[in-house]
Chain A
């Protein structure tokens, strides 16, 4: 098998999409679990958006009570198996570990994966649905936030129906995070756990197309909007519709759902420097591309990708071109991408948000040879859907009560990426999971109290 210097296979690219990180062995897990200090009121718990009782689950691993560990994790976080793989742990739990001040932090993410992998392998049910309470909730979207809300509501006894536009459940975790970080079977297992509590997931059912928003509001006691975000917006430059220009979200999705196409010999440019740009760039490398360049109009300081993602991309061989902005995509005679015209930038005065605005350097235009351009400059919003429910929003970011996550419409709640942005919330998967829990609690409080008043 031909392997390049970073051990990519250029012959069988699907090999490159196997999970990068290995799980801990029993001995490694035991060693690491025994290293945990079992802090009191541990800062790792506080740092976890879902407040997993981390010392408790690690103690359970140390005593070989792995089922107990898995249950502790999944109780606090219904998508704890995915989060074990995709959480920016060094910014959260592991970053808060007191051993940072002493030796090395505990590998909390890997221990969480060890316990949830065990649960996946054994496939033992960890939870039971609550006694049916006669009330029903519709959830729009089966991504992290939707699944989390559904799991909690099912445990409270609600009849829950999730409407999912795609053919599989899991949302971003199933479609949007690269396979070599998060293989689809993980989020599909989490969705299966939720289904096992009696939750119906209607896939291939787009709200607003296959069923009207008003219908949901009429049929259900409450509705949860957890539809996430949409495709990547237009760059607004010439040549954007040429063959060879891709949307990063769609591009990653294809690597998870369709037979992989080889990029051997291709030169790829990725526009943008967030975590999705890194995902697209590393996917392109693993498809065998000759070179992958990330173009970003600001500097390394301003890029929104996590530091570990940046490091990972560099290790994968991705090149970074900072202070570089695309101006025009140039085609060959067959209408395919041939070159990218760029301009060098410099950072000017800080804008309203305090970020230094990039300014083009006059006369610095240059072209680079590229075969593929992947756009990763953020995501558009599901404006039509949000408006179909009549929700207040700011540029597609649904307005919510910060505590209850209730929208401007009484029995409609929102969580996940649909409420992220415009200075509101966090884009992390784990935050979406927590918001799902909050929504479930808010609905339960609201409907339960209404029950009391009606009796």
Chain B
């Protein structure tokens, strides 16, 4: 068994799988069930002034018959009194001393409010704090959540206020509803954050009912934007994690959130710089037991790769992520169709013909059997054919030998500038 223990800015947990601050971590009952199921940590549903929620809160989109490709919610932070939550946190921590319990916090952007709540939650023995600067709906209209998370100065100030009194590590949870997440990430770091977590949910309207013409979900005939999450947001989250991980001024651990539902997702986030991951939608879709395969699959993967500890994954792919200007313009890859594997659906042909570079020809062999042929000289190596191909192994993207030495756009511009200079 590989060592799955993680340490995020001093917060330790038996494995990198935490439940994110969300409906699954609403109560001690739920968090204790999660720990029994195998989750390594839980970020408690955000504490603050108890709110009033609407009825009809969630919605999801299906993609070609598959449920919950994306998920959205208009639920706010905890609707239970702070002392009830604190009592349950205390009891849960006592039962599970080695699991990570992090309190998610959201209060008005005032120094005394932050001081007060930090002290109160730390008194019951949490392992860390997560400042919720990301909730995009409802709370944002009251100047909290994403509203404060979209202003770098407020992010920095509030982080500073929390850090002034915090004894446990402070994680700042960032909103993706912003042009450049590294700006707010740096603000958090400047405010003294011990770690950052991302992404919170993305502004979304899930749909419109074709019969009633009401929004989905609809609350008594009215809708409001919610926060989008689930499998569909993973690429957005992964990019934001990677952008922060490779930023030289953001040298704090990252807790990766956004569409994580499997051990493979977790590995990708960790390779891109996350120390651990947080999960919500997948648990809401399938229940807490999904963590079993996450743990097992991750362990098998590590063993197969000959890695003793999951921490060896952290950031290993970050150096492979850069700007477009640093990509090699002289690298060439082309599609190669394996006729013996091809099942002749012609999806590659029509994709290339209609929407790419018209280089996959339909031909007939001497024995009369149809086959597909890539005109390599016209293939730009876009990958589209191999993306739409339903049969594994039918299309390989193969690397061609260099005809010109490697050169990036940035290098090219530098060379051109030299010539101009002369």
Contacts and interface: CB of A to CB of B under 8 A. Distances in A.
Contact of A98 (B64, B344, B349, B362): B344
A257 B344 CA distance: 46
Interface residues of A, number: 16
B386 to A, nearest CB: 15
B363 to A, nearest CB: 13
A62 interface: yes
A102 B64 contact: no
Contact of B346 (A33, A41, A62, A99): A41
B391 interface: yes
Contacts of A38: 347
B65 A40 contact: no
**Chain B binding surface, main DSSP class:** loop
Given A102-B390, A102-B391, A34 B346 contact: no
A98 B343 contact: yes
B65 A34 contact: yes
Contact of B390 (A31, A33, A34, A37): A37
A30 to B, nearest CB: 5
A40 B347 contact: yes
Nearest to B394: A102
Contact of B65 (A37, A62, A98): A62
A43 interface: yes
A101 interface: yes
Most buried by B among A37, A42, A62: A37
B345 interface: yes
Interface in B49-70: 64-66
Contacts of A39: 344-347
Interface string A282-307: 00000000000000000000000000
Nearest to B341: A101
Interface in A40-62: 40-43, 62
Contacts of A43: 344
A292 to B, nearest CB: 41
A101 B344 CA distance: 9
Contacts of A42: 345-346
Contacts of A40: 345-347, 349-350
Interface string B327-368: 000000000000000011111011000000000001000000
Interface string A191-203: 0000000000000
Contacts of A101: 343-344, 391
Contacts of B64: 34, 62
Contacts of A33: 65
A42 B350 CA distance: 11
Contacts of B349: 40
Interface in A99-115: 99, 101-102
Contacts of A41: 346, 350, 362
A98 B343 CA distance: 6
Nearest to B353: A40
A101 to B, nearest CB: 4
Contacts of B66: 34
A98 B391 CA distance: 10
A30 B65 CA distance: 7
A246 to B, nearest CB: 47
Contacts of B345: 37, 39-40, 42, 98
B347 A37 contact: yes
A31 B64 CA distance: 8
Interface residues of B, number: 13
B355 to A, nearest CB: 12
Most buried by A among B344, B345, B350: B345
A64 to B, nearest CB: 9
Contacts of B347: 37-40
B171 to A, nearest CB: 40
A40 B360 CA distance: 13
B282 to A, nearest CB: 21
Contacts of B391: 101-102
B342 to A, nearest CB: 9
B65 A31 contact: yes
Interface string A174-187: 00000000000000
Given A34-B65, A37-B390, A62-B64, A102 B343 contact: yes
A58 to B, nearest CB: 12
A106 to B, nearest CB: 12
Contacts of A30: 65
A98 B347 CA distance: 11
A31 B66 CA distance: 9
Interface string B83-124: 000000000000000000000000000000000000000000
Nearest to A35: B65
Contacts of A98: 343-345
Nearest to A63: B64
Nearest to B348: A40
A76 to B, nearest CB: 20
Interface in B361-395: 362, 390-391
A66 to B, nearest CB: 14
A31 B62 CA distance: 12
Interface in A389-423: none
A43 B347 CA distance: 12
Interface string A2-39: 00000000000000000000000000001101100111
A101 B389 CA distance: 14
A34 B66 CA distance: 9
A321 to B, nearest CB: 41
A323 B181 CA distance: 81
Contacts of A31: 65
Interface string A58-89: 00001000000000000000000000000000
Interface string A316-334: 0000000000000000000
Contacts of B343: 98-99, 101-102
Contacts of A62: 64-65
Nearest to B63: A34
A71 B289 CA distance: 46
A38 B64 CA distance: 13
B67 to A, nearest CB: 11
Contacts of A102: 343, 390-391
A33 B66 CA distance: 12
Contacts of B344: 39, 43, 98, 101
Nearest to B354: A40
Nearest to B388: A37
A39 B390 CA distance: 10
A102 B66 CA distance: 21
Nearest to B66: A34
10 tightest CB-CB pairs across the interface, nearest first? A40-B350, A34-B65, A40-B346, A39-B345, A101-B343, A98-B343, A34-B64, A98-B345, A37-B345, A30-B65
Given A37-B345, A98-B343, A98-B345, 10 more contacts: A34-B64, A34-B65, A41-B346, A43-B344, A62-B64, A62-B65, A98-B344, A99-B343, A101-B344, A102-B391
21 contacts: A30-B65, A33-B65, A34-B64, A34-B66, A37-B345, A37-B347, A37-B390, A38-B347, A39-B345, A40-B345, A40-B346, A40-B347, A40-B349, A40-B350, A41-B346, A41-B362, A42-B345, A43-B344, A98-B343, A101-B343, A101-B344
Interface of A: 30-31, 33-34, 37-43, 62, 98-99, 101-102
